[in-house]
Structure 1
Amino acid sequence: MIVRIMGEGQVKLDDSHFPTLNELDDELLAEVESGDEDGFRRTLTALLEAVRTLGAPLSEDSLEPSELILPAPDATIDEVRAMLTEDGLIPD
């Protein structure tokens, strides 16, 4: 799957990594819903770092369609709240 981190670029990520990412996504959803700013920041950072670490970056001139778009590392809790679905950022 091709994942875009807003403001950073795209990463090719194997589907086998999604159970790990979904756990972080569930935590992030709960923190956004409860307004836990510190937890939100910590979990967003962990989620994006996991995508960067587990995935392979695509070249900057690559124009692959992104199947999943994640917020920028400096996104606010309100910006992420606007991106959420009932499943979080990452569909189950």
Structure 2
Amino acid sequence: MIVRIMGEGQVKLDDAHFTELNKLDDELLAEMESGDEEGFRRTLGALLDAVRRLGTPLPDDALEPSALILPSPEASLDEVREMLSDDGLIPG
């Protein structure tokens, strides 16, 4: 699956990694719902770090369709809230 981190670029992620990413996504959703800004920042950073660590970066000139778009590390709680679906940022 191709994942875009806004402002950074795209990475290719194997579907096997989504169990780990969904756990972080669930934590992020809970922190957002409770208004835990500190937890939100920490977990968003951990989620994006995991995507970077587990994924293979695509070249900057590659323009593959992204199946998933994640916010930038600087995104506000309100900005991320607008990106959410019922499943969080990551479906499943």
TM-score range, shorter chain: over 0.9
Aligned to 1:27: 27
Find the aligned partners of 2:84 and 2:63 in 1 and give their Cα distance: 25
State the Cα deviation string for residues 12-70 of structure 1 (Å, max 9, x = none).
00000000000000000000111000000000000000000000000000010000000
Find the aligned partners of 2:84 and 2:60 in 1 and give their Cα distance: 26
Find the aligned partners of 1:15 and 1:73 in 2 and give their Cα distance: 23
How many residues are paired up?
Answer: 92
Unpaired runs of 5+ in structure 2?
none
- Alignment partner of 1:62: what SS? coil
Return structure 1 stretches of 4+ with deviation > 3 angstroms.
none
- Alignment partner of 1:74: what SS? coil
Unpaired runs of 5+ in structure 1?
none
- With normalisation by structure 1, the TM-score equals 0.99
Find the aligned partners of 2:83 and 2:32 in 1 and give their Cα distance: 11
Find the aligned partners of 1:78 and 1:32 in 2 and give their Cα distance: 9
Amino acid at match of 1:4: R
Aligned to 1:5: 5
- With normalisation by structure 2, the TM-score equals 0.99
